[in-house]
Amino acid sequence: MSCTFCPLPWSHLSTHPLGDVSLCCHADNQNSIGSSMNFKDNTKLDLNSNTIEEIMNSDSFKKARMEMLNGKRPKACMSCFDKEDKGARSRRLEEVKEGYFTLKDAKETTEPNGEIQVNLRKVELRLGNKCNLKCSTCNPVSSSSWKEEYSEITKNPEIELPVNYDGIDEKMFNWAESNSFWENLSKHYSHLSEVNINGGEPMLYSQQTLFLKYLIDKGLSKNITLIYYINLSFISEEITKLWVHFKKTIIHCSIDDIEERNTFIRYPIKWDILEKNFKKLLDMDVEIKILQTLSVYNFFTFEKVATKFLPLSKQINYGINLVTEPFFLSPLSIPPQERKKKLKEVFSDLPFEEYRKLTKLLYNDQFEEKNLKIFNTYNNILLKNRKNNFTKDFSRLYQLLKNY
């Protein structure tokens, strides 16, 4: 019996804004390790040029499936295996636990070369980069609003970026609004149990409504959980009125701080609009989760989100994601003594599981002084283009940065 099996390479479509597809959102995409590739000509497949069938049966996907069936660990999946080796739960284990597609199913449906008949159970759609915000921790691949500032940032030799997205062909984002993609996806609807819609900003993509209506008309929506990640700048009634037809709808709301600080970090969203739209969600039959991105910007004030929103309803869930790239935006760029002090301050403000996660990741001595110097340079570019009283709204961070 394989101890490396995961159902996702057989049953899951995980798209990215440029149309490329990976084994899952946790798969290693560095050097295209986890992406859909054909080895003979070293070609990366994408939804602008290829069908879902071609992508799911690319050489790299077939190889990963056969490695799993033979008890090997695919290189693209090491993020899960590394967690498991440390005694932590991984997405692989969570998917196996659900039992919707088993090792027995995989053996029975996989050809000797790793090829399969596509039968999707879950889809994860990052619908291009169309977005009306330019969040301070984002980039032009995930937000079309970032283009001008990003061009200035990439020209500055003092700022180190892991990937330079400047000059990307805008046509690469077109797949998310093409009829051909949605028609192709509709061929693989019969066993869907989960549709995850991300962005850009998914509320700006009207094409999805045709697909949702298709699932409703086919009588399949009652078996499907919808999952959204939205920025709360706009709630589309055209989309939300369809949610009642689905088994469950889960909305992840991106809120990084409160009031003027959130406006700066998630520029240019207005706080009153965010609150108004959040209240609209509270009146709907949906599950709500606040998803906070933790960076240098909000590290000294991030607990304000939890203390403001969690008392509104016991049904609101809360989670934190840490910025990891570029590293100068990571909270690990805050000096260790400041990180430890802050973590002690917020102990009573956060759900215990989130607090424990943060202490595991941040309560250490990791630090490179150069990162705050780079952050200062980066932030000065943003300050030229964003209206904000930085010294007042980010006072504790401002005092720290004066030393760098």
What mean pLDDT is predicted for residues 284-307? 97
d(CA 345, CA 40): 56
d(CA 346, CA 280): 29
Position 87 scores a pLDDT of 80
39 CB burial (10 A radius; 0-12, 13-18, 19+)? exposed
Q: What is the chain's mean pLDDT, rounded?
A: 92
What mean pLDDT is predicted for residues 154-158? 92
Position 30 scores a pLDDT of 60
CA angle 49, 51, 57 (to 5 degrees): 115
Better-scored residue on pLDDT, 88 or 354 = 354
Angle between helices 369-385 and 147-154 (to 10 degrees): 140
Q: What is the pTM of this model?
A: 0.91
What mean pLDDT is predicted for residues 328-334? 96
Position 165 scores a pLDDT of 83
What mean pLDDT is predicted for residues 37-45? 90
pLDDT digits (tens, 9 = 90+) for 6-15: 999 999 999 9
d(CA 375, CA 330): 10
Half-sphere exposure of 90 (CA within 13 A, CB side): 22
d(CA 186, CA 212): 10
Better-scored residue on pLDDT, 282 or 84 = 282
pLDDT digits (tens, 9 = 90+) for 71-89: 999 999 988 988 888 787 8
From the list 12, 17, 9, the residue with the least C-alpha distance to 48 is 17
What mean pLDDT is predicted for residues 266-270? 96
Q: What is the DSSP code (8-state) at residue 234?
A: -
Instruction: Report whether pLDDT(1) > 70.
Output: no
Give 285-306 as a DSSP string.
S-EEEEEEEE-TTTTTTTHHHH
pLDDT digits (tens, 9 = 90+) for 206-262: 889 989 999 999 999 999 999 999 999 999 999 999 999 999 999 999 999 999 999
The pLDDT > 90 percentage for the chain reads 78
Highest mean pLDDT among 181-195, 284-298, 350-364 belongs to 284-298
Confidence of residue 31 (pLDDT cuts 50, 70, 90): low
Q: 24-38, 128-142, 238-252, 285-299 — which is least confidently predicted?
A: 24-38
What mean pLDDT is predicted for residues 331-354? 95
Position 381 scores a pLDDT of 93
Position 147 scores a pLDDT of 84
Confidence of residue 32 (pLDDT cuts 50, 70, 90): low
**Are residues 136 and 267 in contact, defined by beta-carbon separation less than 8 angstroms?**
yes
- Is the bond into 200 cis (omega within 30 degrees of 0)? yes
The pLDDT > 70 percentage for the chain reads 99
Distances from the Cα of 268 to the Cαs of 200, 205, 300, 389, 394, in angstroms? Answer: 15, 20, 21, 14, 17
d(CA 263, CA 273): 11
